[in-house]
Structure 1
Amino acid sequence: MLPDLQTLTQKIRDIAREEILPRFEHVGFALKQDGSLLTEADLATNRRIAEFLGEQWADIAFLSEEMESAEQERLLREADALWCLDPLDGTSNFAAGIPLFAVSLALFQHGEVVLALTYDPVRDEMFTAQRGQGAWLNGQPLRCQPSAFKLRNAVAIVDFKRLSLPLKNALLHNPPYGSQRNLGSCVLEWAWMAANRGNVYLHGGMKLWDLAAGTLILAEAGGYACTLAGEPVFVPALAPRSVVISPDAVLFAAWLQYLRENQ
C-alpha cells in the first residue's frame, strides 16, 4: 500500500512554508563542490522532511540531493522502496530573490516512480501524481491539452547550458519556435508543462531528483517526454538525462524531429 497522499502533501506544504518562505530574500548561501548553491533553506527543509518520512514510513529508504554520491548509489542499488527528495530546486533563483523554486519528492518502488509531488510555496501550488491514478494540481485533475499553435508559434522553455554546441547554435540562429523562456527550476518546469504552461521544453542534462517526480506528474497528466536519443527519461541512476517535453502530441513530434536534425 502506498503512503497516504493527503498526509504527505499537507506535511510537505507545512514544512516548506515554515522553512523556505521565511528565509526567502533573508538568507545567505554557500557553494557546493559542483559549483551549485546551497542555502540554509535547503538544509533545514531536507532535515525536516527526512525526519517526517522516517517517522511515518520507517520501512522506506531515503535519498536526497544533499547526500554524498556514494551513499546515493548504494541506496539505488539496494533499496526496493526509496524516497527521492530535492528539498529546494531553483536555489539560484531563491538566493537571487527570484520567486521560482519548489520542493520535489518522488517514491520509487522496484525501480519505477509510483508517487510524486512538487510544491511551489510562493504560489501555494501542489502538483501530485500517483501511478495509474492521474495527476492533480491542488486536488483538481491535471490534464495536458492539444495546442492550437504550430511549432513556429510555440512558447519554448529551454535550458541552454548543458546542450551541445551545434544544437545551441541552431536554436540561437534558427529557432523553430516563436519565443523562449527558462524558469531556472527543473521541477517547476515539469509541473508547468503538465499544466499546459508552455508548448515545448528542452533540457540538456537533469539529475535524478530534478526529473523523478516530474516524469510521473507529466505522464499521468497525459503529456509526452523522452531524451534526445528517444529513450524514456526516468531511469533509477545518477547520470544526468536530457529531457524533451510537450503536452501536445503534434508539437512533441515536430519538436523532437527538429532537435534530432540539429544535434
Structure 2
Amino acid sequence: MTAEPTHLARLLRDTAATAILPNWHGIAASHKADGSFVTESDLAAQRYLSEALARDFPGIPLLGEEMTSAEQERMLQNADSALWVVDPLDGTSNYAAGFPAFSISLALIESGRPVLGAILDPVRDECFVAARGQGAWLNDQPIQPFAPSRSIRDCLAMVDLKRLPPELLRAVTRQTCFSSQRYLGSVALEWCWLAAGRFQLYLHGGQKLWDYAAGRLIADEAGAAAMHLIPDSLEPSPAITLEPRLAIAAANAELLDAWRACLKLDVAAS
C-alpha cells in the first residue's frame, strides 16, 4: 500500500477516537525521566498507531516519542531508507490539564528527510497534511501563511520562552519589534498554525524530531520560511537528529530576515 495523506488522516482520526478523546478530562499524568509528562493516552495512542502502520505498511519501522532513547537511536538508523516518526500526543501537559491544544503527529522520512506529514487536532477536528513538493492542506483545503503587512511590527509571534538560550530570551523580552506574543504548548500545532496563517513569527528553543518532523514539512510546503539551529552554538543543523533543535520561522522569507534581525540572530539560512 502506498502512503497517502488521506490515509494518514484517517489513521490519526481513528487513533484519537480510540485512544485519546475518550480519556480527556479525567486522566492522571506522570513524569518521565526527562521531566516531561506522560499519560496512559500517550502510550495507548502510540500502540494503536504502531499496530495500524505495521498492518498497512509492513516493513517500515517506527520511531515514537514513548520509546527508550536506545530504541529511538536504533530506529533512526533507518532514516536513510524509510521510517515513521510519531508523537502520539503532542501537548500532554495541556491534555492532562484540560487545555484544548494538543495533537497527534505522524511523519514519513525517506532518504533522511520528511516526505509526508499529518497532524490532527482532535478537539477541532482539524487535520493538516503535506507531501513534499505537492503543498499543504487543512481538511482537504490548501493552506498558506498570512501576513497583515510587510512590517514585523504588525506580526503576532508564537514564542516558547521556557527553552530559549539566555541571550535569545533577553532579546525577546527586551524587544518591541513585533505586535504581541503567544504560546500554544503543542509544537506540532504551532507549525500548522503558522502554515495556516494564524500567526506570523515563531521561536522555540528545544524541539525534538517527533515534535517537528511533520510540522515543519507542513509549514515548508505551505510556503513559510524556517530554520533549525543547534541551541548552544546557534549554527544551522541537519534536520534528522534526536538532539533538541531551536526553531525560528516566519510567514515568509522577508519576515524571517526581519525576525532574525530583531533578535540579532546572525546565521546563514539553512
Same topology, TM > 0.5:
yes
C-alpha distance in 1 between matches for 2:113 and 2:74:
17
DSSP 3-state at the match of 1:197: coil
Q: Which residue of 2 aligns with 1:65?
A: 65
CA distance 1:78–1:128, change in 2 (3 Å): closer
The C-alpha deviation readout for 1:128-148, integer Å capped at 9, x for no partner, is 000111110000111224431
- 1:254 to 1:182, Cα distance in 2 relative to 1, 3 A: same
Offset at 1:173? 2.5
2:130 matched residue in structure 1: 129
1:217 aligned to 2:180? no
Change (3 A) 1:230 1:192: farther
Per the alignment, residue 151 of structure 1 pairs with 152
- Contact kept? 1:146, 1:249, Cα under 8 Å: no
Give the match for residue 47 of structure 2: 47
The one-letter code matched in structure 1 to 2:14 is D
- Contact 2:136–2:222 under 8 Å retained in 1: yes
* Residue number in structure 2 paired with 1:138: 139
Residues 129 and 230 of structure 1: is their aligned pair in 2 closer, same or farther, counting only changes over 3 Å? farther
- Bigger Cα displacement from structure 2, 243-252 vs 63-72: 243-252
User: Hey, what's the Cα distance between the residues in 1 that align with 2:153 and 2:91?
Assistant: 29
- CA contact 2:119–2:214 (8 Å) conserved in 1: yes
Counterpart in the other structure of 2:240: 236
The answer to whether the 8 A contact 2:172-2:263 is kept is no
- Where 2:133 maps in the other structure, the secondary structure is coil
Q: How is 1:84-123 mapped onto 2 (pairs within 5 angstroms)?
A: 84-123=85-124
In the aligned structure 1, how far is the partner of 2:147 from the partner of 2:53? 37
Partner of residue 165, structure 2: 164
Distance 1:58 1:261, change over 3 A: closer
1:31 matched to which residue of 2? 31
Is 2:234 the partner of 1:245?
A: no
**Structure 1: 5+ residue stretches without partners:** none
Other structure's SS at 1:20 match: helix
Task: Report the number of matched residues.
Answer: 262
Distance in 2, Cα, partners of 1:140 & 1:210: 23
Equivalent position of 2:190 in the other structure: 189
Matched residue type, 1:196: G
Root-mean-square deviation over aligned CA pairs: 1.8
Listed as ranges, the gaps of 5+ residues in structure 2 are none
**C-alpha contact (below 8 Å) 1:166/1:262 kept by paired residues:** no
Q: Identify the range of structure 1 (112-121 vs 149-158) with the bigger mean alpha-carbon deviation.
A: 149-158
Cα contact 1:102–1:118 (8 A) shared by 2 = yes
Counterpart code for 1:102? S
Aligned amino acid, residue 223 of structure 1: A
User: Percent sequence identity over matched residues?
Assistant: 47
How far has the Cα of 1:231 moved from its partner? 2.7
Q: Offset of 1:259 from its aligned partner?
A: 2.1
Cα 1:230–1:176 shift into 2, 3 Å: farther
TM-score norm. by structure 2 comes to 0.92
SS of the residue corresponding to residue 49 of structure 2 reads: helix
